[in-house]
Structure 1
Amino acid sequence: MPDVIFNGPEGRLEGRYQHGKAHNAPIALILHPHPRYGGTMNNKVVYALYHLFARRGFSVLRFNSRGVGRSQGTFDNGQGELSDAASALDWMQAYNPNAGACWIAGFSFGAWIGMQLLMRRPEITGFISVAAPAGIYDFSFLAPCPSSGLFVHGTKDDVIAENEVQKLVNRLSNQRGITIDYQSVEGANHLFEENLEEMSAAVDQYLDKVSAQTEPA
């Protein structure tokens, strides 16, 4: 799990990177929750997602956005953090020019950033959004949503109302050409403190399904 430093729009960004063994290993970028509320690349949900993708053979990166940890710059209310995420994806693609697929995964604030990046980068194959902050941040930019993906949410989330996420999922599910999956985790709070395994299992099962659908007959 090597430490990496790469250039961002406001200076150096620090991350952790695991390189996939296959020459065409898919890539996955993991985005952390809100820095103003303690969000870093070492968040337990981010850490769990990182290792889940690594176990599946992905080249995977998690990183601290500007002003977090050893990353330079200051918090920029989402706009700068989106630019940081784009720089992180650029760095990954430079190291993985033959990547067979490209995934974005984000937790809470990171899910909002990830979905914005999805709109700007057509090479992104799919997404995982955990505790997407629907009802707190505006997701109307997903018009249309360009890729299929998965939303995961805890039924006891005390920060983001589950019904707000369900409304977002229902709206996106009516769009043509994509498939939006939704998985609730019974009893999980916003941080999935007692339900990390269930959250990871939901993502794993979804990726299993996607993999089965894309394998040649």
Structure 2
Amino acid sequence: MAFGPVNMGVMAGTIQTVETLRGPAGRLEALLNVGAADAAYSAVVCHPHPPSGGTMHTKVVYHAAKAFSHFGVPVLRFNFRGTGLSEGTHDNGPGEIADVKAALDWLQHEYGLPILLAGFSFGANIGFRAACGDDRVKGLVGLGMPLQAGGRSYSYEFMAHCNQPKLLLTGAQDPFAPRLVMESYFDEAGGDTEMQWIEGAEHFFAGVPGSPQAKLDRMRLAMQDWLGRKFFGL
């Protein structure tokens, strides 16, 4: 797998197009939020279900990238195969797991730093499947981790052996992740697993009747708080 150099002289906070990320199905369209020269970690964010309109530009993905950037972390966002300008076709899971692994390989090659991963919805399930047990990945954030959505069921049997620190952030009114079921599913997850519920939010962390204001900022700040406590000594 070929890689090209990142221009490390670019100012932190700049967004660059990545031309060298390739998965098994071909080139993956990607953006890099450039981090600080002394960054302690690199990060990747995985987007929601592509046939349902999910891309690396989805608002939740953007806010997750901002949470990492708050700590000067370089953040890679990419489109799964068949999405946007990414080559290949949607594979309903296995191919997308391989895409995440390609993104992890790219970050390892370019930075050689410990990696943090966040995913939203489909991207959370796929990202966790790719990264659980990977020694390069030191922490995982699942945003709107789904149990059922659009007629699709998501399983989490692998989580029992997922020992990295994990944060699961879910809208309290998320119809795809009922609270009691979520808690029963993830009570036995391996390692340090923290679950938080964003009141007045649904799956996309938008508002709900009675609390109409979007909760994206609240989601991002909760993610920043967890990252600060777990990885940045705050």
How high is the TM-score relative to the length of structure 2? 0.84
Deviates most, 34-43 or 128-137: 128-137
Kindly state the Cα deviation for residue 19 of structure 1 after the two structures are TM-superposed.
Answer: 2.5
Percent identity of equivalent pairs:
36
Question: Match for residue 55 of structure 1?
Answer: 70
Q: Are residues 1:146 and 2:166 paired?
A: no
Q: Note if contact 2:138-2:164 (Cα within 8 Å) is conserved in structure 1.
A: yes
Q: Unmatched 5+ residue regions in structure 1? A: none
Question: Match for residue 216 of structure 2?
Answer: 196
Question: Match for residue 134 of structure 1?
Answer: 147
SS of residue in 1 equivalent to 2:197:
strand
Q: Are residues 1:96 and 2:111 paired?
A: yes
Q: For residues 142-198 of structure 1, what are the alpha-carbon distances to aligned partners after superposition, in whole Å with 9 as ceiling and x for unaligned?
A: 2311211100011111233222222223121xx4xx211111000101111211011
Q: Which one of 40, 58, 69 corresponds to residue 84 of structure 2?
A: 69
SS of residue in 2 equivalent to 1:2:
strand
Q: Are residues 1:165 and 2:182 paired?
A: yes
Kindly state the Cα deviation for residue 28 of structure 1 after the two structures are TM-superposed.
Answer: 0.7
Tell me, in whole angstroms, the C-alpha distance in 2 between the residues paired with 1:111 and 1:164: 17
Kindly state the Cα deviation for residue 10 of structure 1 after the two structures are TM-superposed.
Answer: 0.6
- What's the RMSD between the two structures over aligned residues? 1.6
Q: Are residues 1:110 and 2:123 paired?
A: yes
Kindly state the Cα deviation for residue 23 of structure 1 after the two structures are TM-superposed.
Answer: 4.0
Deviates most, 156-165 or 40-49: 156-165
Runs of 4+ in 1 over 4 A off after TM superposition: none
Q: Note if contact 1:33-1:108 (Cα within 8 Å) is conserved in structure 2.
A: yes
| Count of residues in Structure 1 that have an aligned counterpart in Structure 2 | 208
Do the aligned partners of residues 75 and 120 (structure 1) sit closer, same or farther apart at CA in structure 2, a change above 3 Å counting? farther
Q: Are residues 1:37 and 2:52 paired?
A: yes
Kindly state the Cα deviation for residue 47 of structure 1 after the two structures are TM-superposed.
Answer: 0.4
Q: Note if contact 2:26-2:88 (Cα within 8 Å) is conserved in structure 1.
A: yes
SS of residue in 2 equivalent to 1:122:
coil
Q: Unmatched 5+ residue regions in structure 2? A: 1-14, 207-213
Q: Are residues 1:4 and 2:24 paired?
A: no
Deviates most, 75-84 or 142-151: 142-151
Question: Match for residue 205 of structure 1?
Answer: 225
Comparing both structures, which one devotes a greater share of its residues to helix? 1
How high is the TM-score relative to the length of structure 1? 0.90
SS of residue in 2 equivalent to 1:184:
strand
